[in-house]
Amino acid sequence: MFPYFGTLRSKIPPFHPDHMRIARGAMRISVFVLAGRCAGALKEMAVAYRYGTGPIVDAYQLTMTLVGWLPVVIATVFSIVLVPVFVELRAQPLADQTRFLGELEGWAIVVGAMLTLLLYACWPFALHIGATNLSAETRAICRQMILTMGPIGALILVSSAYAARLQSRERHINTLLEGLPAGFVLGLVLSAGGEVSALPLIGGTVGGYIVQTLILRMLSVQVDPIRYRLRLTLKAPQWQRVYRAVRVLALGQVVMCCTPILDQFFVVAYGDGAVATVGYTNRVLSLLLSMGALAIGQAILPILSDIIGVGDLSRARHTALKWTLLMFLLGTGVALVSWLLAPQAVALLFQRGAFTARDTAAVAELFRWGQMQVPFYFSGLVLLTLFASAGRYREMAIIALMSFVVKVVANVVMTHWLAIPGIFAATALMHATTLIYYLVYVQGWPTGTATTAAGQP
């Protein structure tokens, strides 16, 4: 019997080392993501218990969206660009490494501060335009929150630079640290007295982001023990690659990262409670999506960058397509199970205190609609990572623009037919369109040749 199993095992082809590296990285990240998202889930349970779907949650959701969307856009662009740059930077002279790291951190701090000032200047106008259907109490809470939560955007931007350094070294502890703001909010909400106030949400969020940024900086210095000082120049040669990439990628990513803002403007038309309901739904969806998508995306980017760095584009393409199929199948299974368990999962997370059974039914319905996007999101992220590793930023920008147009049109049409669930149906259609475009583009790639940083073979 045992010789039979030995013979059977010998007939199974061994896994390529690239797949094993990706799998090991994805497993490590999944553990970190699970821990961080558990903190997020506990935070949502505490927030639902204390605040329900009341005006404080509406204001908090709206504030976090408007505070974070532009820094998240920039952080997303630079995380895509910087990981391959950091991989190549290790082979450069020490002087180039020192200069680039000092300039990157210096400009991240300055740009973050400028974004905070811009937010303070534009906030009244954004609130007037985007929150006209919300109550006066909700708008007043928004004004209170923005005064102290404005600097969060700067912290997001600076911490993303540190996280990219860690990711380029296949160190993924940053995914665990993303749960720190949720942990701080959880602690303050649970320790608050009987008075229902927004202060625990404000203090926990700001404090969590500050501690997260400080720890990420400490860890990035440990991984790359290079001494440098902050500079406000752009003399490092790596900026040429960063500029070429950002120039063609930024527009598409800015547009794609506007989808949360777009959805918020559609949601507020349905009045008080709608923003909170969609916010709870999106947070449960993020727990689900990040477990697979964040894990595989962060695990595969440095490895594909290594493969393409040695000029083997064909191997990178072949590896990515295999993982695309695997993630589509995995996403389909996850979506089916989540659809079946949606009412029980939402009730377990939220249904207590101010969060009623009626709220559970509303969130569970939207959560089921959100499952349509899961297979397309999981698999599309693998191909996005392949294009980023190969420097195909022009194609990425075109795909992002076309997908956003689909999202806008679908939002208008689907909300007319389905009301709020139409927003989630439109998101699924956007991700499906993105996946199809990536598959069409990748079929036209030349095989066996490398690409330059600008995205040309």
Measured CA to CA, the distance from residue 83 to residue 166 in angstroms comes to: 9
Residue 354 has pLDDT above 50, yes or no: yes
Q: Give the model's pLDDT for residue 336.
A: 94
Residue given tokens 């608050």 in the structure block: 192
As for how many domains the chain has, the answer is 1
Confidence of residue 424 (pLDDT cuts 50, 70, 90): very high
Q: What is the mean pLDDT of the chain?
A: 78
Residue 349 covered by a domain: yes
Residue 392 covered by a domain: yes
Residue 453 covered by a domain: no
Residue 449 covered by a domain: no
What average pLDDT does this structure show over 144-171?
82
> Residue 70 corresponds to which tokens in the numbers above?
């532009």
> Residue 175 corresponds to which tokens in the numbers above?
């995914």
Confidence of residue 9 (pLDDT cuts 50, 70, 90): very low
Confidence of residue 376 (pLDDT cuts 50, 70, 90): very high
Cα-atom radius of gyration of the chain, to the nearest Å?
Answer: 22
Query: Which percentage of the chain shows pLDDT scores above 70?
Result: 77
Tell whether pTM > 0.85.
no
What average pLDDT does this structure show over 168-194?
76
List the one residue out of 188, 197, 178, 186 whose CA is nearest residue 68: 178
Q: What domain range is 414 assigned to? A: 16-443
Q: Give the model's pLDDT for residue 4.
A: 40
Residue 252 covered by a domain: yes
Report which of residues 450 and 274 the model is more confident about: 274
Measured CA to CA, the distance from residue 366 to residue 63 in angstroms comes to: 22
User: pLDDT of 95-150, one tens digit each?
Assistant: 877 888 888 888 888 988 888 888 888 777 777 666 666 677 777 788 788 888 88
Residue 450 covered by a domain: no
Residue 43 covered by a domain: yes
What average pLDDT does this structure show over 302-326?
75
Alpha carbon separation from 311 to 15, 252, 318, 448 (Å, rounded): 21, 27, 14, 8
Alpha carbon separation from 167 to 29, 40, 222, 247 (Å, rounded): 11, 22, 13, 23
Confidence of residue 294 (pLDDT cuts 50, 70, 90): low
> Residue 66 corresponds to which tokens in the numbers above?
């408007």
Residue 456 covered by a domain: no
Q: CB neighbours (10 Å) of residue 389?
A: 26
User: pLDDT of 44-60, one tens digit each?
Assistant: 777 777 777 677 877 88
Measured CA to CA, the distance from residue 106 to residue 375 in angstroms comes to: 39
Q: Give the model's pLDDT for residue 355.
A: 77
**Amino acid, res. 285:** L
User: pLDDT of 215-243, one tens digit each?
Assistant: 888 888 887 777 778 888 888 887 877 77
Give whichever of 80-89, 193-202, 409-418 has the largest mean pLDDT: 409-418
Measured CA to CA, the distance from residue 287 to residue 40 in angstroms comes to: 8
Confidence of residue 435 (pLDDT cuts 50, 70, 90): very high
Residue 181 has pLDDT above 60, yes or no: yes
Q: Give the model's pLDDT for residue 7.
A: 45
What average pLDDT does this structure show over 432-450?
79
Give whichever of 126-130, 242-246, 301-305 has the largest mean pLDDT: 242-246
